[in-house]
Amino acid sequence: MEEQNLFQRSRALSQVEMRKAQHSGACYAEHAHDEFSFGLIDQGRARYLNHRNYYDVGQGTLVTINPGDTHACNPEAGVWSYRMLFVNTHWVAELQAEVGGSKLFDYQPFEAAFCAQSPLIEQSFNRLYDYLQHQDEGGLAETALISFLAPLFANTQHQEPTLSQGIVRAHTLLLDRLGENIPLEELANEAGLNRYTLLRQFKQAYGQAPHVYQIDQRIRRAKRLLREGESLADTAATLGFADQSHFQHHFKRRVAITPRQYQQAC
């Protein structure tokens, strides 16, 4: 059957983006999202990487991904079908505060990658996905979203990661000069480390080597710019890509659709 990939912002709730892939053989480079991500596998099997841990997942499995988690999920053989929901992090943080009965300064991530197979979870996801597609179902969609998320976050506990000041400085430099190609030696000097130690500690902290992480951050920033109506050419230039072809190559490896398709869907 023909491969289909659909990406759209929910017609019912603006804080949710949706993706549906059918009979897809697409493979993804390691990447991260700004949003909480929830995926249900409808057909086939896949190998799911979250940070340095691998999971074998199949039909009926729900996968959850924290904002900023480096991950990739690719079919083991042949094709697969799945649906994804990307939920705004600030909205989720407000819900978590309501669920926990206290004000939070930030969202609480899952302690680890969460994979579950449950008929009740699958039914809840299917009901939510259906409501999210219909513009006139805002109330039902929000109710279904809260009902779906609240049990998943009932036992989350926030743990601040411990990072060395040198790695924090290198990370800040990458973000402050996101559109520049910063030499590895300059990053190492900023961190007060040699290049090998920088690479090892940075990947331990953020799940990716510095320049892979930088490209991923560029794509995440590009998504925001495209949603705001920035042109493809200006977005590519602002974020330091050599040209639109270079931009599209990296964008599609992480998002599975072209920048233009993404902007049109938003």
Minimum mean pLDDT among 137-151, 153-167, 185-199, 212-226: which range?
Answer: 153-167
CB 8 within 8 A of CB 43: no
Q: How far is residue 237 from each of residues 67, 91, 179, 246, measured CA to CA in Å?
A: 26, 31, 8, 11
According to the model, what pLDDT value does residue 85 have? 97
Range 94-132 burial, b when 16+ CB lie within 10 A, else e: ebbeebeeeeeeebbbbeebbbeeeeebbebbebbbebb
Give residue 208's pLDDT band: very low, low, confident or very high (50, 70, 90).
confident
Using CA atoms, how far apart are residues 149 and 227, in angstroms rounded to an integer?
25
Minimum mean pLDDT among 168-172, 179-183, 233-237: which range?
Answer: 179-183
Q: Which fold has domain 4-152?
A: Jelly Rolls (2.60.120)
Using CA atoms, how far apart are residues 138 and 266, in angstroms rounded to an integer?
18
DSSP for 72-122, please give it.
EEEESSS-EEEEEEEE-HHHHHHHHHHHHTS--SS----SS-EEEE-HHHH
The amino acid that residue 10 corresponds to is S
Mean pLDDT, the chain, integer = 88
pLDDT tens digits for 51-63? 778 889 999 999 9
Give residue 159's pLDDT band: very low, low, confident or very high (50, 70, 90).
low
pLDDT at 236 over 90: yes
pLDDT tens digits for 99-125? 776 555 568 887 766 778 889 899 999
User: What global pTM score does this model have?
Assistant: 0.70
Answer yes or no: CATH 3.20.20.20 is held by domain 165-265: no
Bridge partners of 221, per DSSP, are none
pLDDT tens digits for 7-60? 899 989 999 999 999 988 888 888 889 899 999 999 999 999 887 788 899 999
Residue ranges of the domains in the chain?
Answer: 4-152, 165-265
